[in-house]
């Protein structure tokens, strides 16, 4: 297993040669305020992402932020809409304009960022700059295709201010049937996915967390957690998944889409293993990525079987990197889905 660890770090360093160029962005203040105690980003990539799901998620977040303003938990909030890609089409511009007009009626400050190319980390960096300009204490983001539990903002904000956490996120809950999305949320018991660190939806203290994002790292929430591990004490101290907060997401992907997504996640983890020093990379590899395989004594259970299959998947991706080195074909782009185009 140490052999795979060393090869992943070595091969990804040789093959990953991304050059994304310049990211240009326009910033518009739909409802501006002088300061914002909390800034929260909702990113959207056009035309790939589901704009209807994004619209719903934005309204949910805005409503919850309004509630926290009324309760006094926070004094001011900025909602940042991060639109990336082909947003110039008239149909998209109309939908975005309608959404902004609706949000302008709330008590939440609303900022619109339009970025010329799709890159979530570039958008996060731009949004953090906006947050710092508003003197925000807290910053976070949420994938725009998620459904949020009713108390998620209150729970995450309270976890930072009351429990003194630095990085927090909710538990993942799978909803398998897209037609019954809302019904399954209330009437059935979806399967909870035990995510080991905040993913998909994250909130953190800007002044207490290392957040020097790099567009080449691919993984946003993975980088945030791994960069802030404290190996001298309790590694995950201050980094917590809050069980009382939940995000619901669809799992209606076909096999091809699942394989593409698994490959991207594998490569993003490998990039981070190469980025960090060997001591931290080993901790991530042994205790986060493949913890059940290193437990002593080994417990044969479902989790061990799943991790063994994932380990085999990482072997296949590592073999792909080896082939790329042999034929001198570096990896310059990693796709997220079948609709994103191919690798370069």
* Domains in the chain: boundaries: 2-340
Bridge-based pairing state of the strands 109-115 and 25-31: antiparallel
CB atoms within 10 A of CB 289: 22
Q: How far is it, in rounded angstroms, from Cα 26 to Cα 259?
A: 35
Q: Average pLDDT, whole number, for the chain?
A: 87
Sites in the chain below the pLDDT cut of 50: 180-190, 338-344
Predicted local distance difference test score (pLDDT) of residue 235: 83
Predicted local distance difference test score (pLDDT) of residue 189: 43
Predicted local distance difference test score (pLDDT) of residue 202: 97
Cα four-point dihedral sign 272, 169, 96, 253: positive
Predicted local distance difference test score (pLDDT) of residue 222: 94
User: Which residue from 212, 219, 209 is spatially nearest to 273, judged by alpha carbons?
Assistant: 219
Q: Tokens 């009713």 appear where? A: 150
User: Which residue from 343, 297, 122 is spatially nearest to 215, judged by alpha carbons?
Assistant: 122
Render pLDDT for 139-192 as a digit per residue (tens, 0 to 9).
Answer: 999 999 899 999 999 999 999 998 888 999 999 888 765 554 444 444 444 455
Q: The whole model's pTM is what?
A: 0.90
Predicted local distance difference test score (pLDDT) of residue 338: 47
Predicted local distance difference test score (pLDDT) of residue 192: 55
Write down the CATH superfamily of domain 2-340.
Answer: Spore Coat Polysaccharide Biosynthesis Protein SpsA; Chain A (3.90.550.10)
* Tokens describing residue 12: 């990804």
H helix intervals, the chain: 2-15, 51-71, 90-103, 120-133, 152-161, 181-187, 220-227, 255-275, 278-283, 291-294, 302-326
Cis peptide upstream of residue 297 (ω within 30 degrees of 0): yes
Q: How far is it, in rounded angstroms, from Cα 263 to Cα 271?
A: 12
Predicted local distance difference test score (pLDDT) of residue 87: 85
């Amino acid at each position: 297993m140490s052999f795979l660890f060393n090869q992943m770090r070595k091969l990804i360093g040789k093959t990953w040669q991304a050059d994304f160029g310049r990211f240009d962005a326009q910033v518009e203040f739909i409802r501006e305020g002088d300061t914002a105690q909390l800034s929260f980003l909702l990113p959207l990539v056009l035309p790939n992402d589901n704009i209807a799901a994004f619209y719903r998620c934005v309204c949910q977040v805005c409503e919850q932020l309004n509630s926290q303003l009324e309760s006094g938990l926070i004094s001011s909030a900025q909602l940042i809409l991060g639109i990336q890609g082909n947003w110039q089409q008239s149909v998209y511009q109309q939908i975005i304009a309608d959404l902004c007009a609706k949000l302008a009626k709330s008590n939440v400050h609303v900022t619109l960022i339009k970025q010329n190319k799709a890159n979530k980390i570039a958008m996060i960096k731009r949004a953090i700059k906006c947050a710092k300009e508003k003197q925000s204490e807290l910053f976070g983001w949420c994938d725009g295709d998620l459904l949020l539990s009713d108390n998620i903002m209150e729970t995450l904000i309270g976890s930072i201010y009351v429990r003194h956490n630095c990085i927090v996120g909710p538990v993942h809950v799978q909803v398998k049937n897209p037609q019954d999305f809302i019904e399954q949320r209330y009437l059935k018991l979806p399967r909870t996915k035990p995510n080991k660190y905040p993913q998909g939806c994250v909130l953190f203290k800007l002044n207490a967390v290392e957040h020097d994002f790099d567009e080449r790292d691919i993984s946003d929430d993975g980088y945030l957690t791994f960069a802030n591990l404290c190996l001298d004490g309790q590694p995950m101290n201050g980094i917590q998944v809050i069980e009382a907060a939940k995000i619901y997401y669809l799992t209606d992907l076909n096999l091809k889409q699942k394989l593409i997504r698994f490959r991207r996640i594998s490569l993003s983890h490998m990039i981070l293993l190469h980025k960090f020093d060997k001591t931290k990379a080993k901790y991530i590899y042994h205790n986060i990525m493949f913890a059940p395989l290193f437990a002593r004594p080994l417990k044969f259970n479902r989790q061990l079987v799943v991790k063994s299959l994932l380990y085999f998947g990482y072997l296949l991706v590592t073999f792909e990197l080896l082939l790329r080195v042999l034929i001198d074909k570096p990896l310059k782009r990693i796709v997220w889905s079948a609709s994103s185009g191919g690798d370069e």
